[in-house]
Amino acid sequence: MARQGTPDVLDPAPVADAAGRAPTVAPDGGATLLRWAARMRAEQPAWRDDAGNVHVFRHADVQRILADPAVFSSDTVGRLSGGERQAPRGTLLLLDPPMHGKMRRLVSKAFTPGLIAGLEPWITELTGGLLDRAPADRFDLVDTLANPLPVTVIARMLGVPTADRDLFQGWADQLLSTDPEDPESVRRMEETAVTISSYLQGFIEDRRSRPQSDLLGTLVAAELDGERLEDEDITSFATLLLLAGHITTSVLLGNTLMCLDGDEELFARVRQDRSLIPAVLEETLRLRPPFTRIERVTTEDTTLAGLDVAANTLVHLWLLSANRDETVFEAPDAFRPERTNARQAAFGHGIHYCIGAPLARLEGRIALEALLDRYTRIGVDPEARLSWHGTNVFGARHLPLCVERA
């Protein structure tokens, strides 16, 4: 693909920037980052940056770490603060066994296959309504569909007014723009978290007096080890769902159209045979995963790809790099929906495999089917200069489309 940020030829790239940090997705859409990751897989599969953090790039190492929560803890908050701070129990991504298993079993009640499948008619209707308001010949996919669709679904699942989706969208944008190295950015993120908690508090109190079957009601009524969840536990999970659930689907939709853009033959095949859509989504997740990396912290001294790593070291697992590992995926930079190897790591692996993955896939399928139903031609505006998310989200902030109605 010729579009900026999706290089087919990997030219030599620097090991890191002058400050010894990994490249970011912005400003070139990940072109530099992808070249850097390919070089690191070949030359430094485990790399220690100037801050002392370790980065791993190969598929086998990423999978090994994700499968071993005893040595590679998800509790980055507690371990890196020396135990002075603890993540709320609702922050599934930061929990270790056994608490992780208990909390996940509780939350999973809202993500059963039957409940997710039951959302399909409503999500289909919602998608149609959003596209009904789109201009006839060109529109921004993100503003029109990719953002409001998952945010509205999350609001409904939680049991808060779907009319408040603009509030949710604003909070998600603020959380996603956080730069952990900028104190002012971190301060704004903390203020946003307080605002979200204040908003949800009224709904939590309402569920305590009037039980309901939505996700907030389920969490309010739940018990762990004979104790009810604290309000902070509930709001932390709702915030996680808002951020991760929203961005996963939003970026998946945009990235899918970017992967299909310009390949008229493949677009025509998918339009003719909708059974190809799941494979298209899966290959998009491999080639352009929504999140470039995730983190773990070592609980003991260990070795990664020949590099000695001390206990309590932060480890960055580059999902984007693992998904393009030449030893696992043939022609890894090519978009090939017909691949039989489905070992892509976009949704993680092991006990922390993304609980919302089936919902993201469902939303992606419904949205792509609706677009194909309505338009005979769909293309990314060739005159648009795309802007990109920050350090850890692999996708465009906006995606202007040129379309022709069916």
What tens digit of pLDDT does each residue of 297-314 get? 999 999 999 999 999 999
| pLDDT on residue 16 | 59
pTM: 0.92
d(CA 245, CA 215) in angstroms, rounded, equals: 14
Residue 76 to residue 217: CA distance in whole angstroms: 29
Low-confidence winner among 174-183, 321-330, 331-340 (lowest mean pLDDT): 174-183
Per-residue pLDDT of 230-256, as tens digits, reads: 899 899 888 888 878 888 999 999 999
Q: Is the dihedral of CA 142, 143, 145, 150 positive or negative?
A: positive
On whether the CB atoms of residues 363 and 78 are closer than 8 A, the answer is no
> What does the block give as tokens for 28?
């070139």
For residue range 344-394, what is the model confidence (pLDDT) as tens digits? 999 999 999 999 999 999 999 999 999 999 999 999 999 999 999 877 899
Q: Which domains does the chain have, with CATH numbers?
A: 31-79+92-405 (1.10.630.10)
φ and ψ of 236, to 5 deg: -70, -40
pLDDT band for position 319 (50/70/90)? very high
Residue 148 has pLDDT above 70, yes or no: yes
CB proximity list for 351: less than 8 A, separation 6 or greater: 69, 97, 100, 101, 104
What pLDDT, in 10s, does the model give residues 248-277?
999 999 999 999 998 999 999 999 999 999
Least confident of 3-12, 51-60, 359-368, 391-400: 3-12
Name the average pLDDT for the chain.
90
Check whether 13 has a pLDDT greater than 60. Answer: no
| Mean pLDDT lowest among 10-14, 216-220, 383-387 | 10-14
pLDDT score of 176: 73
| Cβ contact 259:289 at 8 Å | no
What local confidence, expressed as pLDDT, does residue 174 receive? 80
Query: What is the predicted pLDDT for the residue at 18?
Result: 47
Distance (Å) of CA 297 to CA 68, 69, 71, 314, 317? 11, 10, 8, 4, 11
Q: In angstroms, rounded to a whole number, what is the distance separating the alpha carbons of residues 356 and 277?
A: 19
% of residues, the chain, pLDDT over 90: 68
Under the banding of pLDDT at 50, 70 and 90, the label for residue 84 is: confident
With a cut of 70, say whether residue 90 has pLDDT above it.
yes
pLDDT band per the 50, 70, 90 thresholds, residue 74: very high
Tell whether omega for the bond before 7 is within 30 degrees of 0, i.e. cis.
no
Q: For residue 111, what pLDDT is reported?
A: 86
Residue 178 has a pLDDT of 75
Predicted confidence at residue 2, as pLDDT, reads 39
- Examine the pLDDT at 4 and tell me if it is beyond 60: no
Q: Which residue is listed with tokens 């190492």?
A: 61
Local structure of residue 194 (DSSP, 8 states): H
- Residue 7's pLDDT band (cuts 50, 70, 90): very low
Contacts of 353 (CB under 8 A, 6+ apart): 347
Percent of the chain with pLDDT over 70: 95
**Length of the chain measured in residues:** 406
Largest Cα separation within the chain, whole Å, is 62
Query: How far apart (Å, rounded) are the C-alpha atoms in residues 50 and 83?
Result: 24
Q: What pLDDT shows up at residue 390?
A: 74
pLDDT of residue 10 exceeding 50, the answer is: no
pLDDT at residue 83 greater than cutoff 90 = no
How confident is the model over 107-121, as a mean pLDDT? 90
Which residues touch 155 (CB under 8 Å, ≥6 apart)? 161, 162, 164, 165, 168
User: What pLDDT does residue 1 have?
Assistant: 40
pLDDT confidence of residue 210: 94
